[in-house]
Each structure stands twice: as structure tokens, then as C-alpha cells.
Structure 1
Amino acid sequence: MDIRTRTEQLINGQSVTNRQLQTLLAVARTGSMTAAAKELGISVPVVHRYISNIEAAAGVPVTKSNASGTVLTDEGTEIVEAFSASEARCADDRGFTVCCSPVTEDLMTSVFSSLKMTDVELVISDDVHNVRMMKEGLADLALIDDPLYLYDFDEYGYDMEEIGYMGMVYVDNGPSFIRYKYGAQRVAFMFLDSMSRKYSIDAETYSLSEMLGSNKSFFVDEFLLTRKRLKLKSAVDPKVLRHAITAVFRTEDRKVTRIINAIKSRHLD
């Protein structure tokens, strides 16, 4: 007997199909409508139609074009993350799952490649979603950027280990800030509070390129900029905004130990 669980996603009360959502996910993954169509074995006009159906339900654009292709808007990213989470909850054959943010995404993919681990599922999201993945039993290992989120695990008895440290770049374009959805942002803004700086957070974004082009002030992890080969002038020494990256895991088995040791060998600091 083959019994499977399927989910349905409602956006503003309107139903969107899993196929449409899988298409949006493919666009996010490939960065191109054409590449997504090829990956899914459908035509480009069908991809556009599926995206239009989602946008009709959302009432806002879920993708936008840039110089390198197609990326998701903040709303599109929110929809994809909700879909990925619901699919993970219903998965009947979930393998070893690791979750992290875009700050440590390249690090994790590099570690998996060096260890020749091809059977690991990697989920990329913010700390809030990654904490929830661990609590709901949907992930085996999470890298948490913001140490303040570690208090959320107090009652769960998970093991934790600091695997390195990162500094944050503070780009100062005045008192108006755009808040990046990834990294130890609370730590950074607590620094401003400690300095009695007057500021306002006037925008939030999942998009690094949108933040860089915003002409607003912002904080971003120096490690992420280095991996993207970007160099920005910081108003303070990034070490002033140094924070721990912490691995949270259920049980320390051989696979967890290998991953953590490989990350620590990269000497994040």
C-alpha cells in the first residue's frame, strides 16, 4: 500500500497548485525562466503562466529581472520558503537535512563537496525558519548566524558547538537603514543602540543586490561579501561586530562530526 501526504497552499485565500510553486522554486534555484523550464521539462510560456497565477493570488510581483537573470522578490521568497517548509513536513523519505542562511550557504556546499556528501539535503533560509525546522524535527543540523536565537533551544536539549566567528560590515549612508533578512542583524542594531545612534529601519529585504543598490545604511556579514568578491568600506572595524556561528544538532553521529570538523577547519574568523 502506497500512502502519501500532499499539501495545498493558499495565498490570500486563493489556492495555488504544487506544480506552480515548484516552478517558482525552480526559478529561484536556477535564476532563469528558461533554465527553470528546461529543468522541469515544460515550455517557457508555461513557466510564465504559472508565475502569473501565483502573482494573481499574491497581488504583487513574485519575480523580477536583473542583469544576471530572474530573482524572487521578497514576497516570492516568502512564498517559496513556506512551500519548502510544508513539503518537508510531509516528506515520507526525508534524508539527512542541514539548514543554514545565505551567509553560510557557499561554506556548506563547499564542505559537502570536499567530503563527497551527495546525500545531504540543504535548506537555505533565515534563522527564524531554520530554528523552526530544528524544533519541528525537519532538520538534523542547523547553522545559526544570530546567537540570540540560541535561547530558543533552551528547553529542547539540543547539542550546540561554536564553529567560527564572523565580523559584520557597517555601510553608513545616514540614519535610514535597510535591514537584510540574514545574519546577526539584532547584534548589529544593538551596537547602534549602545552608541545612542538615532536611526530608522525603513525597509527590509531578502536580496543582497537590492540592499547594495538601496543607498541606505545597512549591515552585512563580511564573509558573505568576500565569497561574492565584493569589497565595501565599513564605518567600523568588522571585528567590532564579531559574532559566533553556532552549529545546533540533535545527536552527534559520524556525519554531524565530519561536517562540523570540516567547517571548523576553514577557520572562520
Structure 2
Amino acid sequence: MKFHPRLNLSLNGETFSYRLFDALLEINSTWSQRAAAKRLGISHAVLNRRIRDAEEKMGFKLVETTGAGSGLTLQGIMILKKYQRYLKRLKERETLFICGGPISTGLMDVLSRHYGLEVVIYTTDDLSALKMAEMDLVDILLFDDPVHAFMHDLDFVPIARDDLVLVSHSNEQMESIEDLHGRLFVEVIHSAQRLAWNTLDHLHVDYKIVDWCSSPQNALKLIRNNEDFLTFLNRSFMSALSSSFTISDILAEDSSHIISMVIPTKKPELEDFSDFIQGKGQKLIPKLGFGRID
């Protein structure tokens, strides 16, 4: 079954039907109001009245007569392009769109493929993903840090457990909190590292964040280039790497957290997918470096 979405747009408090924009599209294509009317299956008089009514409400011309026939004014072209951008976005939304942090989207990529769900996945940080969801651009919203769902009173579904490990590029083994005094850290913004910083603050550890980045990959690059730098990263992320980094569980218990998802709009296929994640899909979770929620 094929769907053909259509849009009405509002401008200065006036709503204009998709029929107006279809007319502008045909005029722009044919350079003739009569030919455009014929393609649309309406009379030239109806088309002309449709254009004139819209021009009167908008306060400027949409169509002009040129030596080549009838064409769109600059304002008409601008409005048509805006309509086409919105229409393109609407058509793209026919494919399910998932957005979230790097940890949760990596997990969801595997789960959706095993389930057989066709999706587009966009990886960003939790707060940017939340902004996209508020713009109604997201079918599944994912959080690396569940605090964002709590703060915005969202009905979230837990999909996996994770914790943080201390990561360095030196051979030094750190076994106690005291070893972290005076240390320099790299922060991954809007991530579950919040749990590590809160714990260190609570324990009055004298540490300093000296650099910031938006992804765990970039955090690893920074500490690889400076052996004095440390960071906290998800255990699931580090479990997929075979590298020379030194890892410590020093704050693992204090940084245990849930990877979660929010489904803003209820759709039958997404409800079934959610049931899969919380049921049979949990068998995949340990293989991906996470802890099961059951």
C-alpha cells in the first residue's frame, strides 16, 4: 500500500491548501497557467482564482507574466521550495527514525537488524536527540543516561544495563579512589559520565576536567595522545575494543545505570518491537557487552 502525503501550510495566520502548492508546482514546470490547469484537471478560471485569492491573503504576487508565459515570482519560488522541503521531510518519515546517544544507538542498531525492522539511526548526544524528538522528527528516542528521561517526565522503557570503567593509556593500575586525587580527566558531554563526576564530588576527590568531547571515540583519541589524561567510558563500549588501554572497575558499582528508550508516538510495529527487546531480544544483550534488564 502506497501513501501519498499532502500538506497544508500556514503563513501569517492564514492556512493554504496543498492545492495551491500543486498549482505553483505545475506553473513552474509548464510556464503556462492553462497547461497547469489542464494537468490538474481544473479550469483556467479556477486556477486563476486560486492564485489570486492566495496572493491577496499573502500580500504579494506569486505568479507573473513573462515573455515565455507565466512563471513564479521570487516569492512564489521561495514558498514552493519551502513547501517541497516540508513534503520531502514528511515522505522521509515513512521510514522509522531512531535517534540517541552513541551507546544506545549502537545497541539499537543490532537489535533492530535482528528483529528485521527497517530504520534510519542517527547518533548524537542525549540532549540533541531530545530536541529532535520535541520537533516530532523521531520515532524512537534513546538515552545513554536515563536521567534525561526522568527530568522530562518521559515514559521510558529499560532495554539494557551498563556501567562505567576508568580508562587510561598508561600502564599504571589504579585500585582505590585515593589514586584519582589530582588526576586530569576528559569528559564526554551529556553522557552517563555524570554518575562518575557526582561520585567523585561526593567523595571530595580533587580532580580536574581538562578537555571535552561529544563521543567516546574522541575521548579515546585524547587520552591516547596524553598518558596523563583519564576518562570514564561505558563497559559495553570498551568490551568491543581490543586495545592497549588500561581499564579499572573503580567506580563500576556507583555508575551502574539503565540504557532506555522512549516511543513518542504509539505505532503497532513499534509496540511489537518493544516487546521483542524486553523479551527474546534480551538474549542478545550480554553478547553485546551489556547487562540484561530481567
Q: Distance in 2 between matches of 1:253 and 1:100?
A: 19
Deviates more, 1:107-116 or 1:204-213: 204-213
Letter in 1 for 2:123: I
| Paired residue secondary structure (2:191) | coil
* Structure 2 partner of 1:104: 104
Cα deviation per residue 1:17-65 (whole Å; 9 max; x = unaligned)?
xxxxxxxxxxxxxxxxxxxxxxxxxxxxxxxxxxxxxxxxxxxxxxxxx
**Over 4 Å off, 4+ runs:** 87-90
Checking the alignment, whether the CA contact within 8 Å between 2:102 and 2:124 is kept in structure 1 is yes
1:92 aligns with 2:100: no
Checking the alignment, whether the CA contact within 8 Å between 1:88 and 1:138 is kept in structure 2 is no
> Of the two, which has the highest radius of gyration?
2
Q: How many residues align?
A: 183
**Cα RMSD (Å):** 3.0
Q: Distance in 2 between matches of 1:256 and 1:208?
A: 33
Q: Distance in 2 between matches of 1:89 and 1:204?
A: 38
1:169 aligns with 2:165: yes
Cα deviation per residue 1:131-183 (whole Å; 9 max; x = unaligned)?
111122110111111122124422xxx43112221010023675211112363
| Paired residue secondary structure (1:203) | strand
* Structure 2 partner of 1:236: 250
Gaps of 5+ in 2: 1-5, 10-84, 168-173, 175-179
1:192 aligns with 2:219: no
Q: Distance in 1 between matches of 2:120 and 2:273?
A: 13
* C-alpha spacing 1:200/1:111, structure 2 compared with 1 (3 Å): same
* C-alpha spacing 1:175/1:89, structure 2 compared with 1 (3 Å): farther
Query: What is the CA-CA distance between 1:235 and the residue it aligns to?
Result: 5.1
TM-score (norm 1): 0.59
* Structure 2 partner of 1:144: 143
* C-alpha spacing 1:226/1:257, structure 2 compared with 1 (3 Å): farther
Checking the alignment, whether the CA contact within 8 Å between 1:102 and 1:182 is kept in structure 2 is no
* Structure 2 partner of 1:40: none
| Paired residue secondary structure (1:190) | helix
Cα deviation per residue 1:98-146 (whole Å; 9 max; x = unaligned)?
112221333222112112222x121100011011111221101111111
* Structure 2 partner of 1:209: 220
Of all paired residues, the percent bearing the same amino acid is 20
Letter in 1 for 2:267: D
* C-alpha spacing 1:130/1:141, structure 2 compared with 1 (3 Å): same
Checking the alignment, whether the CA contact within 8 Å between 2:141 and 2:264 is kept in structure 1 is no
* Structure 1 partner of 2:134: 135
Checking the alignment, whether the CA contact within 8 Å between 1:144 and 1:246 is kept in structure 2 is yes
* Structure 2 partner of 1:247: 261
Letter in 2 for 1:224: F
Letter in 2 for 1:147: P
